[in-house]
């Protein structure tokens, strides 16, 4: 077990990529705080499933856009299990639409959840991690930050900002033994990407050099690595996990 | 009332914890950045620890006013502190020993003012005013 007794927080942990990370962390022996906003049933089911498999997982309800709520979750987890070792900022939403018709509400919602939510949880753990001279922060970004499609100005902006934020925070915390990295997934088979996949059809898998969608577990395995002692010397990096999609190859 | 020696020892042990250094590396004249390897986040940590250790409040920028002269032409000229800047420094940091600094006036060496002795004097003043 590579994360034995490590205390981890995973936001957006009840579904999709977050769920995969919660499961993988639990299998590696971490105590996992699953943070969810609305999916109580999915969160409860995941806790039950992971617990039955011998893991230690607990669900915490929280709207990541609210700084005080994020702090309250961090305080509660510390009270339950002790100092936080690992934070995964995974909570993210899409509100796709062409820019000329994009409502401010759709812009703000995406920036608030994806970017400000990441800020809120980092702020709640960073100083404590710096003081304990140990910590791992992993932000879930997207290849959409660099390789984008029409209709995603808000999403691409939020993820590009997460990449820059990751690098900047990494420089501040490096001397204190805290690493900050990001994972940029390509097309992953989750509820969130379903609408896009339905619309685009199998053209997507044709664009991916590996000819398949990613699975949440493909991302979770990289998250486990970045959270583990093996990744001690890696910080400020954005790691693309996309089956080669971002290489921009044209099939011939 | 604590003696200066008692305060110095407590400041030293605070720095040992905050900077992960050995006690015997610390001398009154040690500079936090140059000798003890402190970075910006460490200054923040030191302030928090001192506040708790001595039960005092340290307003932002009072103990370590590292950026008071940032880009202000009245205080800095060609990388050197002006007379006005020096006055400002004396007013803001009465607990610092400026004698060496006065010779060079280099803004870049302002960090050398932050010594273990300076912190001790600052705390002494804070406790006396309590």
Each residue of A180-213: pLDDT tens digit? 999 999 999 999 888 888 888 888 899 999 999 9
Q: A 152-191 residues with CB below 8 A of B?
A: 172-173, 175-176
**B39 reaches A (C-beta below 8 A):** yes
Are B20 and A173 in contact (CB < 8 Å)?
no
**pLDDT at A13 (0 to 100):** 98
**B41 reaches A (C-beta below 8 A):** yes
Which residues are registered as beta bridge partners of A202? none
Average pLDDT, chain A: 96
CB B54 within 8 A of CB B127: yes
**pLDDT at A249 (0 to 100):** 86
Average pLDDT, chain B: 92
Are A172 and B41 in contact (CB < 8 Å)?
yes
Are A176 and B40 in contact (CB < 8 Å)?
no
Are B41 and A133 in contact (CB < 8 Å)?
no
**B20 reaches A (C-beta below 8 A):** yes
Could you list the beta-strand ranges (E) of chain B. 76-77, 80-81
B39 interaction partners in chain A (CB closer than 8 Å): 175
Are B45 and A133 in contact (CB < 8 Å)?
no
Give the confidence band of A83 by pLDDT, cuts at 50, 70, 90: very high
Are A131 and B45 in contact (CB < 8 Å)?
yes
CB A43 within 8 A of CB A13: yes
Question: Is pLDDT above 80 for A252?
Answer: no
Q: How far is residue A41's CA from residue A49's CA, in Å, rounded to a whole number?
A: 12
**pLDDT at A114 (0 to 100):** 98
Q: How far is residue A21's CA from residue A17's CA, in Å, rounded to a whole number?
A: 6
**pLDDT at B1 (0 to 100):** 67
A172 interaction partners in chain B (CB closer than 8 Å): 40-41
Backbone angles phi, psi at A41, to 5 degrees: -65, -45
Are A173 and B40 in contact (CB < 8 Å)?
no
B40 interaction partners in chain A (CB closer than 8 Å): 172
Q: How far is residue A56's CA from residue B48's CA, in Å, rounded to a whole number?
A: 34
Q: B 94-113 residues with CB below 8 A of A?
A: none
Catalytic sites of A, residue numbers: 155
**pLDDT at A31 (0 to 100):** 98
CB A22 within 8 A of CB A32: yes
Burial class (CB in 10 A: 0-12, 13-18, 19+), A79: exposed
Instruction: Write down the ipTM of this complex.
Output: 0.80
**Region B53-58: what's the mean pLDDT?**
96
**Region A76-100: what's the mean pLDDT?**
97
Query: Which residue shows structure tokens 């999915």?
Result: A42
Give the single-character DSSP code of A84.
-
**pLDDT at A215 (0 to 100):** 98
Percent of chain A beyond pLDDT 70?
99
- pLDDT, one tens digit per residue, over A138-154 is 999 999 999 988 999 99
The more confident residue out of A237 and B72 is A237
A127 interaction partners in chain B (CB closer than 8 Å): 44-45
C-alpha distance from A134 to closest chain B C-alpha (Å) = 13
C-alpha distance from A133 to closest chain B C-alpha (Å) = 9
- What are the residues whose beta carbons fall under 8 Å from the beta carbon of A86, sequence distance 6 or more? A3, A6, A7, A8, A9, A25, A30, A135, A136, A137, A138, A227
């Amino acid at each position: 077990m590579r994360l034995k007794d490590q205390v981890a927080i995973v936001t957006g942990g009840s579904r999709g990529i977050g769920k995969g990370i919660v499961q993988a962390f639990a299998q590696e022996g971490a105590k996992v705080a699953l943070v969810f906003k609305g999916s109580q049933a999915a969160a409860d089911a995941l806790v039950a499933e992971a617990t039955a498999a011998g893991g230690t997982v607990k669900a915490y309800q929280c709207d990541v856009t609210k700084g005080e709520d994020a702090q309250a979750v961090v305080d509660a987890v510390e009270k339950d299990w002790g100092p936080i070792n690992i934070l995964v900022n995974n909570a993210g939403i899409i509100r796709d639409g062409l820019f000329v018709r994009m409502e401010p509400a759709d812009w703000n919602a995406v920036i608030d959840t994806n970017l400000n939510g990441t800020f809120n949880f980092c702020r709640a753990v960073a100083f404590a991690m710096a003081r304990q001279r140990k910590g791992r922060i992993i932000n879930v970004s997207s290849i959409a930050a660099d390789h984008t499609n029409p209709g995603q100005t808000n999403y691409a902006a939020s993820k590009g900002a997460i990449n820059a934020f990751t690098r900047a925070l990494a420089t501040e915390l490096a001397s204190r033994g805290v690493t900050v990295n990001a994972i940029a997934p390509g097309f992953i088979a989750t509820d969130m990407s379903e609408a896009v996949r339905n619309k685009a059809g199998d053209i997507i898998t044709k664009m991916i050099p590996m000819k398949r969608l990613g699975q949440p577990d493909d991302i979770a395995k990289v998250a486990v690595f970045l959270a583990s002692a093996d990744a001690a010397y890696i910080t400020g990096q954005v790691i693309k996990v996309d089956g080669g999609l971002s290489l921009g190859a044209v099939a011939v | 009332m604590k003696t200066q020696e008692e305060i110095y020892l407590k400041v030293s042990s605070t720095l040992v914890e905050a900077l992960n250094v050995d006690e015997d590396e610390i001398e009154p004249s040690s500079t936090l950045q140059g000798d003890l390897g402190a970075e910006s986040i460490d200054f923040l940590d030191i302030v928090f620890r001192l506040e708790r250790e001595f039960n005092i409040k340290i307003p932002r920028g009072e103990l370590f006013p590292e950026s008071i002269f940032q880009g202000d032409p009245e205080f800095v000229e060609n990388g050197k502190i002006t007379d006005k800047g020096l006055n400002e420094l004396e007013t803001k940091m009465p607990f610092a020993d400026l004698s060496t600094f006065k010779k060079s006036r280099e803004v870049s060496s302002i960090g050398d003012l932050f010594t273990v002795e300076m912190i001790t004097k600052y705390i002494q003043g804070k406790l006396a005013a309590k």
